[in-house]
Structure 1
């Protein structure tokens, strides 16, 4: 991918069939990317970045200040999150290998072969997380689609490195980050509403945030909470 070095900033440049320059700073490392119309000169990109240096630095500093996640080994005694609460994991051997159960006394039990690998234990827990998120989506859709006045054709789940959710407006398909099942329920609701609002307004402009205020007046704490989370890398 082409790059520009502007002072001490390394800028990824992607030229697309778009009308205006778009700037993104990505977590967790603060890399900077500019999407530019096809015929945009490097000098125009340079000027665009120069006027936004403070904004770029602000976001890079926010990402750098986030607490780095502990590398989990999926062994007994570790704490794993579910809906904003931490539960101690118990890795147990027994029947129904790969089954995960949240117990009444507050443990997350994973039944798996005694000689299982870290990757196998992670996959089993991820499968359980995905099932829990999937079963919540119809309830959230039924609650929020009438409020927002927009309906998605499809809700889907995937692991995403930089986003909590994304929306294909043309297909009316909403993708949600699997990691949302580990966050408080209000955060999941916020992302669902956020993506539904994109079916009314593609851009994060004054109209978009005005619609958020109208449909979900208490969205700000959830957004702030998600901004403090270090997303799990893919792969």
Structure 2
């Protein structure tokens, strides 16, 4: 359950969940603020927590405001779309055969039926993104699972509005955001390691980040690229503070 409340100068979405600690997240592009809190936590404690993080929140809101703002996309020839952190010009081609995407040196060539809608063209491009991620993830798991010392029993790719990845510890299942296909390759690797480390430690606490330092010492640069690399479109993920 969630509700939006005014805390100081901030409009904050408060979400009550079956968790033990509070977590505040700032989301691009407009700097929306969301705080996840335990189910029975008093309102006053929530207000104090958010106010104690106000400077952090405002810093990230200012950073998002300084980034290039997302543009509405209609999946027409001439638009810029991203793959692995690199911009490509979209070229839409009418076809009577199978809808598909073909990557060239400078272009994403999207083949779709004549008269296709933006939603239909988006589905074609997203299917291509999903396939590319599913090609890349098995090799990353094969490499990183022995390093981390944890094995995912299952994994998948799905569209996420507020996360780059999630981990179901009980099922030992990880999910990775479809938006990672647009980010530099190191970002995908970082999120894979991040979610595997959650199989050792559920919380984002000192132990968790210590394990990240142990297994992937350069994780900070990948996280920074994940947060700052533009795609020109609104995507999942945000800046978190526990």
TM-score (norm 2): 0.85
Residue number in structure 2 paired with 1:149: 149
SS at match of 1:108: strand
SS at match of 2:98: coil
- Mark the runs of 5 or more structure 2 residues left unpaired by the alignment: 237-242
Residue number in structure 1 paired with 2:162: 162
Between the aligned partners of 2:10 and 2:46, the Cα distance in structure 1 is 13
Matches of residues 48-127 of structure 1 in structure 2 within 5 Å? 48-103=49-104, 105-127=105-127
Residue number in structure 1 paired with 2:205: 205
- 1:212 Cα deviation from its structure 2 partner: 1.2
Matches of residues 35-46 of structure 1 in structure 2 within 5 Å? 35-46=36-47
Q: CA RMSD in A?
A: 2.2
Matches of residues 213-224 of structure 1 in structure 2 within 5 Å? 213-224=213-224
Residue number in structure 2 paired with 1:32: 33
- 1:205 Cα deviation from its structure 2 partner: 1.7
- 1:17 Cα deviation from its structure 2 partner: 4.3
- Mark the runs of 5 or more structure 1 residues left unpaired by the alignment: none
Larger RCO, structures 1/2 (Cα 8 Å, 6+ apart)? 2
Residue number in structure 2 paired with 1:232: 235
TM-score (norm 1): 0.88
CA contact (8 A) 1:27 1:162 kept: no
CA contact (8 A) 1:201 1:207 kept: yes
Between the aligned partners of 1:152 and 1:221, the Cα distance in structure 2 is 24
CA contact (8 A) 2:184 2:225 kept: no
- 1:108 Cα deviation from its structure 2 partner: 2.1
Between the aligned partners of 2:13 and 2:179, the Cα distance in structure 1 is 27
Q: How many residues align?
A: 232
